[in-house]
Amino acid sequence: MNQEVIDKTADYIKKKFDGESSGHDWWHIYRVWRTSITIGEEEKADMFVVQLGALLHDIADYKFHGGDFSVGPRAAREFLEKLNVEERVVSHVCEIIDTISFKGAGVEKPMRTTEGKVVRDADRLDAIGAIGIARCFAYGGYKGNPIYLPDVKPKLHETAEEYVKRQGSQINHFYEKLLLLNDLMLTKTGKRMAEERHNYMVGYLKQFHKEWG
């Protein structure tokens, strides 16, 4: 039964996000799913919850729904209830989705469960390193944001509203979010995996500023 639910969820999400161009496409979700399995097995998590949380973590991202943080958990609950998933699992998955997103440097929500920590780490690992750099600029192009504005300095946002309404360049986004994620990893496995990706971004930014100068 559990595997059937996972298969149906993966099939639904793959169809829903096929061709998405902002860096939040099926292949992002697929990578988070596979990374979640790797981390979850090492951290001895409930793999049914982990896999559903990973597959559904972007089912309705607030960034594409007017900043509505409740839309993701609602959509996930509706989908899982149609598959007759037990309430304990549905509530757990919805809790993960509700608390997974980065919403500003001063707005870090605690993640209560091992399963949530696993999925959050996997999602954040896909935001850093070489793939994270590619996704950063893909999203910037999708939103029409400039690559770099040297006169606009990065800002560490203290509220979710401030973070959602932020304006600036994609290079600033590294300093406002991506470079912070290494220190925000929650699992031993995630921390280990993040270090190389973080260092790669640091090197990239050094080269970017060198060429810009």
pLDDT score recorded for residue 169: 95
pLDDT score recorded for residue 21: 84
User: Could you write out the three-class secondary structure of the chain?
Assistant: CHHHHHHHHHHHHHHHHCCCCCCCCHHHHHHHHHHHHHHHHHCCCCHHHHHHHHHHCCCCCHHHCCCCCCHHHHHHHHHHHHCCCCHHHHHHHHHHHHHCCCCCCCCCCCCCCHHHHHHHHHHHHCCCHHHHHHHHHHHHHHHCCCCCCCCCCCCCCCCHHHHHCCCCCHHHHHHHCHHHHHHHCCCHHHHHHHHHHHHHHHHHHHHHHHHHC
User: Tell me: the pLDDT tens digits for 121-148?
Assistant: 999 999 999 999 999 999 999 989 999 9
CA distance 213 to 196: 26
pLDDT score recorded for residue 60: 76
Name the residue range of residue 152's domain: 2-212
pLDDT score recorded for residue 9: 98
* 41: CATH: 1.10.3210.50
pLDDT score recorded for residue 157: 76
Specify the number of domains making up the chain: 1
Q: Within the chain, which residues score under 70 in pLDDT?
A: 62-67, 104-107
pLDDT score recorded for residue 82: 97
User: Tell me: the pLDDT tens digits for 174-186?
Assistant: 999 999 999 999 9
pLDDT score recorded for residue 65: 54
pLDDT score recorded for residue 55: 98
pLDDT score recorded for residue 101: 83
pLDDT score recorded for residue 95: 95
CA distance 68 to 7: 28
CA distance 60 to 72: 4
pLDDT score recorded for residue 30: 97
